[in-house]
Structure 1
């Protein structure tokens, strides 16, 4: 079990002293890499007083990465980290590193431009989502090359070419997207129809982009951010006033079928720009609000799973600029260790000076990656760990130099699992998950855990329940590693080598770690000797 905890003297929401302190413009996107580094993006020109135009990378525990400097010529507003380490960026730029790239580009892991990726997106990109297959969905209002129509939602193949099979056709902008465990995804924005069917600001699409006709929450006002909880319920934030005809100010939760969760009503008094969900069910919200449920909360707050305000968490953004109180948090990101990175437009958090970016202390995050048998691996995640989707497992048999995909995890209570495997008795496993973040939840990154395992030290099998059955068959049980394939062999001559014993068949696992074998041919023999072999 890996446990991350707070320093003894830190209070919830306090500013971490070791993280970067300063960006000279708004921070709109924060996305984590598997190694813990964080991509930050926005409308800034320097970070920690070092030139970084629109995008920079910082270390997990703070400090600017001096090796990463892509140099777009205008702000970057959305970022997405791919599984291969490359980073897709979107913004108002027309060049990256001096090379023409219109609004959308991809960087190599070191920050250099991926010259083979050039989709030429002529328009503003509001939101971006990386699918499990590597395709990229962008919410936008764009004019595509050689086409007369304006598109609000398009999908690109992994190489940047247009996926012409995908055309949901919302009539206005898509500001936010989030994927469900079943591959369907939620879109939010200012649209009122999807492919000609009425959908007010929220809709659900099937994986192929067709409209899910059974989902219609009906928000009255723009939906700026969306997030899916572990239980399948869906959070919407933005500038709306009703959902399903029921008053809900800027934040609501709907059930998996799109009906309003009537017991959830945080009631912030202004816009919600970003939502972060923890595995304990608590919810981080960032925006332009000054109160939640009538209680003062400036720009950032945490909710309990039922939507009530978490009174123990109050970072308190309060900034005086040109006679106006500014409390705008655009981006929230929960790191793998539970710490919270916020970006926006502010110059202080509580009584601590921080300009547009800060990291906050949080409760404890826990996780445990374990190989429970040669056929199963599980990743348990709890506490303030970020809620995630698209969990994958990989195996290395050379100490972590090379990795082989094992498959995609299935959600279980408290985490994820992958079963039906045939693993070696020793090796390393890696689990990865995608975490959404940033303004409009339009950016995303990856968190990962790696662990070495050894199943070779499992104790010898213990014989149990030996008995002759009424029909003359002989039955015995034994204990061993759950999920392992065990073959029963037999002979009437102990002097024979094992290679000359007769293979009778596989033992049956009747419960985890408990196996049983029945020899129906034993009725024909006065005695017989048995052994168990794996595999």
Structure 2
């Protein structure tokens, strides 16, 4: 049975909210005879398609409708709940003009208070699914991290299958998998074995020696006992060594044991993020309370002597897994939960969560720690912060993006919901999220070209019906050409910039995601963006 974590519960809650707000009125030909308690007017779309089925803003589109003649002067026509101009109307044909600001969705006619649903109209734009990408079914359950490597991508998460490839006791896709640039399983990295059986891998980072650190909520990696963190080789196998142990039997083979070379574990909670820092050391962030290592001098193959050290929330470990005493130990940590973190410049890390203090100092759900683990006082956000839900970092532009429930950030006090922050802690006030009504942003990321991807429970942007996935300009404005698709159902956890099958700019998007436009996606897809 899969482990149920707070992260999972949060995602399920937000996914439900996102799915509810993103659901378009799917094709349901016919009438609603119960609206207002009135009888049917005899109106209905008698063709389940528009002509053409794909159109650009400004173009004319025909819909085939019956019974409309008596009401020709009283037609309220919309696409995806956006009112459109009726250019011509006959008894069996309605011609509309696609407005300049609109997203794909179903047609709807309102006559005399009654609603009649029609076929979907696709709005052509410059952001769309890469139709030539190899993924069909995707991952079974959530994707948490994506790491480019060896011409492909290592994907981690809570999933237990990919493309229906798992075979009981033979083929495993547990929490970690490697895919090529074509979206298909690749043999370039295929020694994951059984992976993180029954657990989740929240984060992966590549170290300077070419090996990888995995962090999450898992107790087994490919049949070997670990505790929420381990190191794997370039082929995906666990990095192991043979050690001498106490032999309590007559079998000479029990004088040795094969163990992880990374001798460190986390207790009391999972690792949310892991990062490689200077000198091949590892930074781990999460809700754990202690670190342990195994003293093999006093251990046997079946019984291990553990050495515990209190270490809360953010710790640094040496390459062998032992605690780094030069980093803050036995600190108070956060007075709430850690939900995410981003490594920025000079080995500093910005941590977010449901806390109000860190190490006894005021921290409104966000804190920046220096390379020695101490709080960086210069990184100090002001404003009304109820909850910061996500954080990401663009290493090329050196921009932090946060999303959540907050307002009044920056010197102007105009930054709400999504904020771009410089590494010195100042708010980039060029970007201002515009009117999203009652929506809540849950994810934001700055792209290398300066645009900002925003995901949340968003129904409208500047009073125009949109999806829960927005691609905004660096000032927060929205261009129609990049936002023509709807709906989007899900929560994004990670975005990686890449190329499409045609060599155009594209995004690999992973998370707890079920739908983009009219297509179902299995928590992972590639979005092509034409510049």
Match of 2:393 in 1: 178
Aligned equivalents of 2:404, 2:280: Cα separation in 1? 29
Match of 2:221 in 1: 47
Q: Does 1:112 align with 2:322?
A: yes
Match of 1:95 among 277, 282, 290: 290
Q: Which has the higher strand share?
A: 1
Q: CA deviation at 1:43?
A: 1.6
Q: How does 1:332-411 map to 2 (within 5 A)?
A: none
Match of 1:264 in 2: 482
Query: Is the Cα contact below 8 Å between 1:180 and 1:228 reproduced in 2?
Result: no
1:8-40: CA deviation from partner (whole Å, max 9, x where unpaired): x98932223514142121222122223432222
Match of 2:453 in 1: 235
Match of 1:59 in 2: 233
CA RMSD of aligned residues (A): 3.0
Query: Is the Cα contact below 8 Å between 2:513 and 2:522 reproduced in 1?
Result: yes
Query: Is the Cα contact below 8 Å between 2:344 and 2:393 reproduced in 1?
Result: no
SS in 2 for 1:278: strand
SS in 2 for 1:63: coil
Match of 2:369 in 1: 156
Q: Does 1:22 align with 2:195?
A: yes
Q: CA deviation at 1:302?
A: 0.9
Aligned equivalents of 1:121, 1:262: Cα separation in 2? 45
SS in 2 for 1:84: helix
Match of 1:194 in 2: 409
Change in 2 beyond 3 A, CA 1:114/1:278 = same
Q: Does 1:142 align with 2:360?
A: no
Match of 2:114 in 1: none
Match of 1:252 in 2: 470
Match of 2:333 among 116, 121, 129: 121
1:327-350: CA deviation from partner (whole Å, max 9, x where unpaired): xxxxxxxxxxxxxxxxxxxxxxxx
Give 5+ residue unaligned stretches, structure 2: 1-148, 154-178, 240-259, 293-307
Provide the TM-score with structure 2 as the length reference: 0.52
Aligned equivalents of 2:387, 2:208: Cα separation in 1? 31
Match of 1:283 in 2: 507
Aligned equivalents of 1:10, 1:176: Cα separation in 2? 27
Q: How many equivalent residue pairs?
A: 304
Q: CA deviation at 1:152?
A: 1.6
Query: Is the Cα contact below 8 Å between 1:126 and 1:176 reproduced in 2?
Result: no
Aligned equivalents of 2:191, 2:406: Cα separation in 1? 39
Match of 2:88 in 1: none
Aligned equivalents of 1:11, 1:204: Cα separation in 2? 30
1:106-163: CA deviation from partner (whole Å, max 9, x where unpaired): 1112222112212542232223222223322222232436747452221122111111
Q: Does 1:303 align with 2:527?
A: yes
Match of 1:168 among 348, 358, 381: 381
Query: Is the Cα contact below 8 Å between 2:459 and 2:466 reproduced in 1?
Result: yes
Give 5+ residue unaligned stretches, structure 1: 308-535
Change in 2 beyond 3 A, CA 1:49/1:271 = same
Query: Is the Cα contact below 8 Å between 1:88 and 1:105 reproduced in 2?
Result: yes
Q: CA deviation at 1:166?
A: 1.8
SS in 2 for 1:93: coil
SS in 2 for 1:31: strand
Change in 2 beyond 3 A, CA 1:42/1:292 = same
Aligned equivalents of 2:407, 2:446: Cα separation in 1? 22
SS in 2 for 1:190: strand
1:22-67: CA deviation from partner (whole Å, max 9, x where unpaired): 2121222122223432222222111112111111222232211231
SS in 1 for 2:327: coil
Q: CA deviation at 1:300?
A: 1.0
Query: Is the Cα contact below 8 Å between 2:391 and 2:400 reproduced in 1?
Result: no
1:285-342: CA deviation from partner (whole Å, max 9, x where unpaired): 11222221111211111111249xxxxxxxxxxxxxxxxxxxxxxxxxxxxxxxxxxx
SS in 2 for 1:13: coil
Q: Does 1:34 align with 2:254?
A: no
Change in 2 beyond 3 A, CA 1:225/1:30 = farther
1:265-286: CA deviation from partner (whole Å, max 9, x where unpaired): 3542222222121265211111
Runs of 4+ in 1 over 6 A off after TM superposition: none
Aligned equivalents of 2:182, 2:396: Cα separation in 1? 31
Match of 1:209 among 425, 432, 436: 425
Aligned equivalents of 1:139, 1:237: Cα separation in 2? 18
SS in 1 for 2:205: strand
